[in-house]
Amino acid sequence: MENNQFRKLGAKITGLTVGFSVIPLLLLGITIYYQFSKTYTAKITENLATLVTNKARALDLFLDERIAQLRIIAGTQPYAKVSQAEHLEDILRIIRQGSESFIDLGVIDQQGNHVAYCGPYNLQGINYKNEKWFHEVMARGVYVSDVFMGFRKFPHLIIAVMYREGNTSWILRATIDSGVFESLVRSIQQGTHGDAYLVNAAMQFQTTPRFGLTSSLKDHLGTPSRFSGPRIIATSSPSGDSLFGLQWLQRKDWMLIVREDPKEELSPLLRTQHYVLATGLAGMLIILMGTLILTRLMIRQLMRAEQEKALLDESLLQSSKMAALGKMAAGVAHEVNNPLAVIKEKAGWIRDLLEEEDVKNSENFQEFRDSVDKIETHVDRAKKVVHRLLGFARRMEPLREKVDVNAVLEQTLSFLENEAKYRNISITTSMQQNLPRILSDTSQLQQVFLNILNNAIDAIGKGGDISISTQADLRTKELHVTITDSGPGIPRDIEKKIFDPFFTTKQVGKGTGLGLAISYSIIDKLGGTLRLENARNKGASFIITLPLTPQEG
């Protein structure tokens, strides 16, 4: 598999893993956030509705208490007595001990005359017969005004109750300090942007808003008709979003409005949103990094397995090739051996005739003799090739004996010592001391070492170095023999052919091309491997690996 294919596979694994990991996480996060947002918003809306309802009831209770106080006074005090200014002043002093919201008290007869008054203003003698509120209180028995300026020239509201004594009706009227009322409403304001105020049916402010009067209230809420229970309205404008809670008072046609800033109220939700977003991003980043690391490890493992598979395939192909060529070599050797025997026999017979007959006196006798010598020489050479072919084809089963590889190498080197000196080639050894003995075949290993060293000497020619090293790897339970020469090395284009039978780089007539093929077959039979490591212009290394523990079978 090419590197590009591995990169595509890595990208697919990364994409699928990230997709199958991140998408469920994303869906879970969105679902949890949506449900939490929905629940939290509903809770805020419920809390606002509860707040506006309770506060509206408190304002109704405040008005009811004042109305009840006036009714008690009217019901317990006869008109003749209460219309006396001194007595009315005593009553005002008493009720102000319990509630400072009363500013003054006044008694008005059924003709609208202000017959008695106690308070800070000069209202004695004023006639209210033409005032709208006078007729309303006379008709309904009780009256609560809007906040207005009136004769007092400051914001206030009045509460008036009508009482009958026989055929006479009279009104007890009180002025309520709007400041007290303002403080009651202002206590409802929450947060840094929250507000609360009262408006009448015409959406006119009865208390002062926290951030000043605004003309855009109708734009947001319109002029809602009276409704029962609380109502929550969310609005959005360029100045910002608002959440309004509305509740009409029962005692008066006033509407309590509580405004909240959704951003302020939803700040815990927004913080949670940021935490969830940050946590989600961190989780996705961790997943992405973990996926990339795992994918890289998997791809490396796949590439390593692919390389090992390629080496195994190459080894199996070489073994198969060697087996097929071995069978072919056996057939060829048998077929050639018999004609060679005949040629050898007839060449000997011709030599005998040349010695016995008068041919000696022939002027061509020497040519006949030389020809017979060449025939016998080449027949002998052909027989050696056939013998080696038969040896390659027989694939003799190796012996199993304890072998000291260092000793085998030293013995092999003794065979080549003189030739190496003649060619001025230096042979150095670096053999591991106390190298474990292995179960193998001494003679076949010696043949392998001899073939490789002969090739190294031929590759160097004259003047060079050959190094031999042995080492045991107890972790992998393998023994390594490395033979390195300083020759020109093996060209890249023939590296894969180097172990093929009859393949040689030597001149014609100087090599059969069977040495490395036989060596490869022997090492394979011994359960080891023989491989070439070639460095351009730095010679070649043949690494023989043998098992420390013999294979079964």
CA distance 59 to 71: 18
| Backbone torsion region of residue 519, taken as left when φ is above 0, otherwise alpha when ψ lies between -120 and 50, otherwise beta | alpha
Give yes or no for a contact between 539 and 485, defined as CB atoms under 8 angstroms apart.
yes
CA distance 197 to 260: 12
| Among 332, 531, 339, 541, residue whose Cα is nearest residue 453 | 541
The pTM of this model reads: 0.51
CA distance 294 to 284: 15
User: What domains are defined for the chain?
Assistant: 1-260 (3.30.450.20), 267-391 (no CATH), 397-547 (3.30.565.10)
CA distance 316 to 308: 12
Give yes or no for a contact between 551 and 400, defined as CB atoms under 8 angstroms apart.
no
CB atoms within 10 A of CB 35: 10
Q: Please report where in the chains the tokens 């202002």 appear, as a residue.
A: 186
Phi, psi of 206 (to 5 degrees): -105, -20
Q: Please report where in the chains the tokens 């009256």 appear, as a residue.
A: 143
Which amino acid appears at position 374 of this protein?
Answer: K
Angle subtended by helix axes 85-98 and 3-76, to nearest 10: 150
Give yes or no for a contact between 146 and 201, defined as CB atoms under 8 angstroms apart.
no
Q: Which helix (H) or strand (E) holds 103?
A: strand 102-109
Locate 64 and state its tokens.
């009811």
CA distance 192 to 261: 9
Torsion angle in degrees (nearest 10) through CA of 289, 291, 295, 296? 10
CA distance 186 to 55: 11
Per-residue pLDDT of the chain (553 residues; tens, 9 = 90+): 567 788 888 888 888 888 888 888 888 878 887 887 788 888 888 988 999 999 999 999 989 999 999 999 989 988 888 888 889 899 989 888 877 788 899 999 989 998 999 988 877 788 888 888 899 999 999 999 988 877 667 788 899 999 988 888 999 999 988 787 788 888 887 777 788 888 888 888 888 887 776 656 666 777 778 888 899 888 887 777 888 899 999 988 899 999 888 777 677 777 877 887 888 888 888 888 988 899 889 988 988 888 888 777 776 666 666 666 666 666 677 677 777 777 888 788 887 777 776 666 777 777 777 888 888 887 877 776 676 666 655 555 566 788 999 999 998 888 888 888 888 999 999 999 989 999 888 888 888 898 899 888 888 888 889 999 999 998 889 999 999 998 888 877 777 777 876 667 666 555 666 778 888 888 888 889 998 887 666 788 999 999 987 544 4
What are the DSSP calls for 193-212, one per residue?
A: T-EEEEEETT--BSS--TT-
Torsion angle in degrees (nearest 10) through CA of 318, 323, 329, 331? -150
Angle subtended by helix axes 365-394 and 267-356, to nearest 10: 150
CA distance 520 to 315: 10
Give yes or no for a contact between 350 and 372, defined as CB atoms under 8 angstroms apart.
yes
CB atoms within 10 A of CB 407: 13
Q: Please report where in the chains the tokens 């043998």 appear, as a residue.
A: 546
